[in-house]
């Protein structure tokens, strides 16, 4: 019995030591919390600007209103006043006050200053307010899928607001004061103020002037062609900074359709990054790049620039007949070199290249150019694209991949791949973040370009760029030609598939263009989904790119070549 009593006392002493030494800090906080109340001080959210410091997403001061049921002296009157000012359901609010199961009720968020002034005039016991922030977007629907928006509590929900939320959000503060046991402030209450820390600002690579030009161009194309959607991305091929990115239809960031989930999900989707499509002939740029580089490296299976491809307009691979879009009678297949094949967008020539290089060599280039994987863009929800595993690819598949079928890409994937093909062969990780700036204006972080890999040599890239300039001056891309400026590019027209079958009358028209062709500074990929009437990329997408390039020339005062 003596041993038992000794053991029991030992356990009690150990427990006391644990409570006093190990658990003491937490218990002190709990006790303090019972006799103190906190009003949050919301941190000012960092702004989002374009590359030149133009504010795209800023703040306007609003307020949150809270209620502590235990401190309310007249539940009926309080609920009536609050419902009248803030539009809350009076009966539900009254029930919450009388219920007493919660210590605090949020009455309203992001309410205007004049409403709070009305509230103050009533001097209601148990009702408090604190400043919060409401996001304000300077350009309405411009950049809506890129910027994204915030929730009622100020946290990022989509786009850059979500991706860089940890930078933008800052750190909230609070006002603490002592109360009695039911939560009513005591007469000798000591008020303690802990200041909020404002969030850092995010400077994007976006150029708002170019962005607005792109927005207008694709909106016009969408309306004129009665398309399902229109998208465009403009980037700097020398470092893969995103200068503009837009999709239409769009929505106003200051009037978000939060009550219509289906519409909101559809309009907030950044098609350039999150959706995939079969690229069609724009993909021939990659096939041509692989062939030119392999020829320069001495691969006997690659074709020289002077090689004359078989003039037949068809090829049969694994029993599957592959046709070119043009007829033989118009002479487009006679004495056709690689440059001419690009000009004429001849499918059989690129079938020959893909099959001759073989799956091992061709897939090495596809992977180096980023297909079948994300680019690493700093944006949530980037799609992988679709690329048949090399181990499963058949000759008929390889042949079609050569001219942009049986492969699916995102817009940003293709734009980056074409940029790498014509900029000297350098593939960078694309990015939207240019720098992070603190609340006091100091640069916290500069986001330098990151070279991912070298896809082709500078010599091969120069040869390809010259060929693609020929596409614009004398080939299928003439609708993108600008007098006095060296523009290169490639058109694309791809049939759409639904449930594994060709969808009759549904096409994706596209154009990937860049200038100056000898030293690219701007590259634009235009995608028009399901245009009505004329659907060729040469007549639907190329003119849109031309309009954007002309606007850039005027905005940046770029002089023509003499």
Q: Is residue 116 part of a domain?
A: no
Which structural domain range is residue 270 located in? 208-555
**pTM strictly above 0.95:** no
Identify the band that residue 502 occupies on the pLDDT scale cut at 50, 70 and 90.
confident
Task: Output the domain CATH number for residue 494.
Answer: 3.40.710.10
- Per DSSP, 511 falls in state E
Mean pLDDT over 416-422 rounds to 98
Q: Is residue 378 part of a domain?
A: yes
Total domains in the chain come to 1
Cα 62 to Cα 169: distance, rounded to the nearest angstrom? 16
Model confidence pLDDT, tens digit, residues 8-56: 989 999 888 888 888 877 777 666 555 566 677 788 999 999 999 999 9
**Can you tell me which residue has the tokens 């033989």?**
328
pLDDT at position 327: 56
Q: Is residue 488 part of a domain?
A: yes
Q: Is residue 542 part of a domain?
A: yes
Give exposure, 328-362, as e/b (b: 16+ Cβ within 10 Å): eeeebbeebbbbbbbbbbbbbbbbbbbbbbebebb
Cα 408 to Cα 412: distance, rounded to the nearest angstrom? 12
Give the torsion sign (CA, 133, 139, 140, 142). Answer: negative
Residues acting as catalytic residues: 281
Angle at 112 between CA 106 and CA 118, to 5 degrees: 85
Q: Is residue 409 part of a domain?
A: yes
Mean pLDDT over 204-216 rounds to 98
Give exposure, 21-30, as e/b (b: 16+ Cβ within 10 Å): eeeeeeeeee
pLDDT at position 331: 47
Q: Is residue 95 part of a domain?
A: no
Q: Is residue 188 part of a domain?
A: no
Cα separations (Å) of 520 from 185, 419, 423, 443, 560? Answer: 67, 8, 6, 29, 14
Q: Which distant-in-sequence residues (6+ apart) come within 8 Å of 380 by Cβ? A: 158, 159, 162, 163
Is it the case that residue 437 has pLDDT exceeding 90? yes
The whole-chain average pLDDT of the chain stands at 91
Model confidence pLDDT, tens digit, residues 383-406: 999 999 999 999 999 999 999 999
Q: Which distant-in-sequence residues (6+ apart) come within 8 Å of 264 by Cβ? A: 251, 256, 257, 258
Model confidence pLDDT, tens digit, residues 81-99: 999 999 888 888 888 888 8
Cα separations (Å) of 471 from 223, 282, 486, 489? Answer: 27, 12, 11, 6
Q: Is residue 67 part of a domain?
A: no
Is it the case that residue 427 has pLDDT exceeding 70? yes
pLDDT at position 506: 94
């Amino acid at each position: 019995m003596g041993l038992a009593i000794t053991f029991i006392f030992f356990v009690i002493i150990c427990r006391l030591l644990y409570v006093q030494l190990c658990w003491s800090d937490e218990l002190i906080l709990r006790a303090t919390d019972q006799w103190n109340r906190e009003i949050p001080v919301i941190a000012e959210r960092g702004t989002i600007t374009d590359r030149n410091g133009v504010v795209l997403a800023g703040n306007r001061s609003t307020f949150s209103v809270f209620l502590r049921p235990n401190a309310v002296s007249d539940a009926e009157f309080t609920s009536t006043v609050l419902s009248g000012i803030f539009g809350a359901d009076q009966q539900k609010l009254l029930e919450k006050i009388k219920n007493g199961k919660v210590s605090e009720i949020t009455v309203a968020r992001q309410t205007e200053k004049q409403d709070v002034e009305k509230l103050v005039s009533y001097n209601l016991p148990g009702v408090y307010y604190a400043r919060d922030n409401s996001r304000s977007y300077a350009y309405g629907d411009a950049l809506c899928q890129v910027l994204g928006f915030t929730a009622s509590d100020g946290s990022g929900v989509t786009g850059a607001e979500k991706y860089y939320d940890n930078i933008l959000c800052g750190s909230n503060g609070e006002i603490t004061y002592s109360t009695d046991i039911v939560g009513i402030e005591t007469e000798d209450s000591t008020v303690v103020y802990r200041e909020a820390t404002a969030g850092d600002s995010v400077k994007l690579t976006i150029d708002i002037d170019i962005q607005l030009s792109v927005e207008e161009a694709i909106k016009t194309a969408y309306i004129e062609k009665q398309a399902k959607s229109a998208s465009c991305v403009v980037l700097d091929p020398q470092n893969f900074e995103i200068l503009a990115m837009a999709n239409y239809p769009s929505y106003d960031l200051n009037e978000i359709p939060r009550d219509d989930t289906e519409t909101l999900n559809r309009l907030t989707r950044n098609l350039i990054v999150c959706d995939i499509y079969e690229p069609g002939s724009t993909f021939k740029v990659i096939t041509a790049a692989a062939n030119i580089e392999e020829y320069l490296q001495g691969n006997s299976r690659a074709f020289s620039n002077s090689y004359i491809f078989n003039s037949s307009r068809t090829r049969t691979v694994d029993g599957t007949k592959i046709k070119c879009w043009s007829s033989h009678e118009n002479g487009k297949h006679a004495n056709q070199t690689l440059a001419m094949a690009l000009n004429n967008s001849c499918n059989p020539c690129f079938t020959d290249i893909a099959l001759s290089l073989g799956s091992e060599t061709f897939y090495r280039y596809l992977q180096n150019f980023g297909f079948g994987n994300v680019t690493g863009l700093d944006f949530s929800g980037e799609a992988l694209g679709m690329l048949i595993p090399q181990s499963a690819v058949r000759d008929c598949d390889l042949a079609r991949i050569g001219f942009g079928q049986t492969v699916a890409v995102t817009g940003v994937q293709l734009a980056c791949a074409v940029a790498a093909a014509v900029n000297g062969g350098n593939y960078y990780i694309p990015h939207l973040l240019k720098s992070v700036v603190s609340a006091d204006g100091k640069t916290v972080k500069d986001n330098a370009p990151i070279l991912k890999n070298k896809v082709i040599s500078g010599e091969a890239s120069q040869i390809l760029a010259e060929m693609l300039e020929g596409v614009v001056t004398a080939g299928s891309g003439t609708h993108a030609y600008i007098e006095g400026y060296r523009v290169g590019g490639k058109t694309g027209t791809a049939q759409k598939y639904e449930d594994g079958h060709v969808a009759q009358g549904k096409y994706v028209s596209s154009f990937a263009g860049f200038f100056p062709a000898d030293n690219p500074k701007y590259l634009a990929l235009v995608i028009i989904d399901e245009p009505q009437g004329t659907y060729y990329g040469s007549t639907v997408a190329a003119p849109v790119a031309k309009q954007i390039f002309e606007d850039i020339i005027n905005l940046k005062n770029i002089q023509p070549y003499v």
